[in-house]
Amino acid sequence: MIQKYKETTNSMSDIPATSFSFEVDQNYSGKRLDVYLVEMSPEHSRSYLSKMIGEGNVLINGEIPRKRGQILENGDNVSLTVLPKANYLASPKPEKMDLKLMLDDEEVLVIDKPAGLTVHPGFGHIGGTLVNGVLGLGYELPTIAGVTRPGIVHRLDKDTSGLIILSKTEHSYKHLTRQFKERLVEKTYFAVLKGKLSTIKGVIDAPIGRNPNNRQKMAIVDGGKEAITEFEVLSYIEGYTFVKVHPITGRSHQIRVHFSSLGHPILGDKTYGRDHGNPATRLFLHAKQLVFIHPALEQSVKVSCELPSEFEDLMSTTMDEKDYLQLTN
């Protein structure tokens, strides 16, 4: 089944790009992604479609495929954004940017990303991203995942702040992506939820996929990808709940969707918060700690960062500094 669902315009060049959605049926189950796209879009060359996959313009169930030859399954949703050939995204350009480096060695770069900063260039934002800023510091990053995603091994939403890992070599890229795929990386987030969450500690195990009523959003859906989120309540703050979160899987918008499903969306979440009059100045979700195996040392490395000032300002109204530090360290 083929559905043309959206046409958009590149604000930088006013050149239109068209998006298509394909639902894989049983006749195509087991086919390679690149072969499937050639059959579904015969008007485009295989090299063009391969380039679109490499540059992140093809998604499988809302996620960037691991490789061009990824095997498809019955029911998979494949979306393709077709860019005019004159509008291929070139290699990102270096830009001056004040970035907070938490780990910097020959193999790995870990950055404390501020909220509001997009991680890598894509359609509609070809500059002003974290990648542009890293290149502006003089680093050379491997382009094994595509020229617009150099060094990127995992996702962090634009509105989420906190730690993100970039690889500096092809060896570290392969090493780290394998760790994320096999769920070997321990991720710790802190979040502020709306309302009082009654369950002190628990696990949310609910599959996530594209929202059938709004393809731009994710939702808990039957037949979605496995999504598991562990959480623990740290304190209650005058109508809010402060939680520590360990996402076991890494689905798009996973933490936001899971807590919204409980009726306690993250403070400042304009997409899943159900309250568009929310006065919060930002999304109160922060990636505070990462534990992973260093690609060169083959030893466990723990990297942590401080909570943003907005968290401290919110919680300082209900607890003293000693209690705050004890909770967040």
Q: Which of 34, 76, 157, 159 is catalytic?
A: 157
CB 111 within 8 A of CB 163: yes
Amino acid at 1: M
Distance, CA of 288 to CA of 268 (rounded, Å): 18
DSSP codes joined into one string, 99-120: -EEEEESSSEEEEEEPTT--SS
CB of 210 closer than 8 Å to CB of 231: no
How far apart CA 294 and CA 278 sit, in angstroms, is 40
Distance between CA atoms of residues 72 and 55, nearest Å = 19
Pairwise CA distance, residues 272 & 160, whole Å: 14
Q: CB neighbours (10 Å) of residue 301? A: 16
**324 is written with which tokens?**
């705050």
- Tell me which long-range contacts 34-41 makes (C-beta under 8 A, separation of at least 24): 34/68, 34/69, 35/69, 36/72, 36/78, 37/78, 37/80, 40/2, 40/78, 40/80, 41/80, 41/82
Q: How far apart are the C-alpha atoms of 268 and 161, rounded to whole Å? A: 13
Task: Tell me the CA distances in angstroms from 25 to 28, 29, 217, one per residue in order.
Answer: 6, 6, 23
Characterize the bridge pairing of strands 58-60 and 16-23. unpaired
The verdict on whether 98 is a catalytic residue reads no
Q: Could you tell me which of 149, 145, 194, 164 has the C-alpha nearest to residue 102?
A: 164
CA dihedral 318, 323, 325, 328 (to 10 degrees): -80
The answer to whether 19 and 81 are in contact (CB under 8 A) is yes
Q: Show which residues are catalytic.
A: 157
